Amino acid sequence: MALRDFALLVLVCLVWAANNIVSKFVVSYMDIPPLFYAAVRFAIVAVAVFPWLRPAPRPIWRLLVVALLMGGGNFALMFVGLRTSTPSSVAVVSQVMVPMTTFLSFMLLGERLTRRRLFGIGLTLLGALTVMWDPHGFRIAPGLLFVVGAAFMGSLGAVMLKQMDGLKPLQMQAWVGLSSFLPLIALSAWLEPGASAVAVASGWPFVAAVLFSGLIVSVVGHTLYYGLIQRYEANLISPLTLMTPLATIGLGVLITHDPFDARMAFGAAVAIAGVLIIALRPNQIMLLLLALRNRDK
């Protein structure tokens, strides 16, 4: 990978990590209702890339379902989960999207599911469950269940997206924004009465946060990422995006003072190891291990 492209990918991962922290502040500390926050975010995306709506790819029903799953369904549940969970735990648990996508690709697209990938799926789920488990009350942390739901929405949308051809990145963003805003604002009006008044009272910090989330994270960040995916193999890009949860954990500890104990460290390490096993080919794993061994000498 060219140094310039690697720097762009690092920047994108840092922007995504920062968005996890910003979103935590919005839905927890500023007390903005999460569905309303998600709706405004996608309204900004829809307005910013509105010219790319047409021509609409066919079939339109699949496009709408994919856009809603990867947009409103994914982000709304993620924001609900962030309200009662730390950014660090959300970053780790959201990695279950990788094994979910792998398994759904096997079920819906007939892609091969090897023993190595099954092992990686098991490791990722073990790591996520370790982070989700509440050792004091012997129960699963409820906020993180919404994160699992968000991961499933994103995974199903990604698998369905594989069945569509000729969809440009900005065109996808336009349809995600439009198809997500309308149902989310309706749900917010029903479930979160008075949400707009809370947002107005929050003033410019809310405006800055939602503009960052909509324009920088979605329009700029995701467009750069899609461009890198088109230039390089997914098996190269996917493992490198693990910089996002690692950066989120670091920012969470520094900014929101997330607890990071031995259980969290073990869960994060196991989940990330599982993702690497799923994403990398055996020869790539050997090269990675050799590089780490040589570095330690």
- Per-residue pLDDT band for 290 (boundaries 50, 70, 90) equals very low
33-42, 60-69, 76-85: which has the minimum mean pLDDT?
60-69
Query: According to the model, what pLDDT value does residue 53 have?
Result: 80
Instruction: Indicate whether 285 pLDDT > 50.
Output: no
Cα separation, 184 vs 34, in Å, equals: 10
- Per-residue pLDDT band for 197 (boundaries 50, 70, 90) equals very high
Query: According to the model, what pLDDT value does residue 233 have?
Result: 61
SS3 164: coil
| Closest to 16 measured CA to CA, from 159, 234, 225, 280 | 225
User: What residues does 134 pair with on adjacent strands?
Assistant: 139
Average pLDDT, the chain: 82
Name the more confident of 291 and 49. 49
Q: pTM for the complete prediction? A: 0.84
* Mean pLDDT along residues 4-20: 88
* CA 242 to chain centroid: 11
196-200, 223-227, 286-290: which has the minimum mean pLDDT?
286-290
Query: According to the model, what pLDDT value does residue 136 have?
Result: 61
Residue ranges of alpha helices (H) inside the chain are: 3-24, 34-48, 60-68, 74-84, 87-93, 97-109, 115-132, 142-161, 169-191, 195-202, 204-211, 223-231, 234-240, 243-255, 262-279, 282-296
Return the half-sphere exposure (C-beta side, CA atoms, 13 A cut-off) of residue 187.
17
Cα separation, 157 vs 73, in Å, equals: 10
Query: According to the model, what pLDDT value does residue 19 have?
Result: 93
Query: According to the model, what pLDDT value does residue 66 have?
Result: 86
Contact 20, 90 (CB under 8 A): yes
Instruction: Indicate whether 109 pLDDT > 50.
Output: yes
* Mean pLDDT along residues 133-145: 68
Cα separation, 249 vs 268, in Å, equals: 9
- Per-residue pLDDT band for 292 (boundaries 50, 70, 90) equals very low
44-48, 75-79, 245-249: which has the minimum mean pLDDT?
245-249
20-34, 51-65, 73-87: which has the minimum mean pLDDT?
51-65
Query: According to the model, what pLDDT value does residue 239 have?
Result: 65
39-48, 57-66, 230-239, 270-279: which has the minimum mean pLDDT?
230-239
Cα separation, 112 vs 102, in Å, equals: 9
* Mean pLDDT along residues 61-73: 87
* CA 180 to chain centroid: 16
28-32, 86-90, 159-163, 234-238: which has the minimum mean pLDDT?
234-238
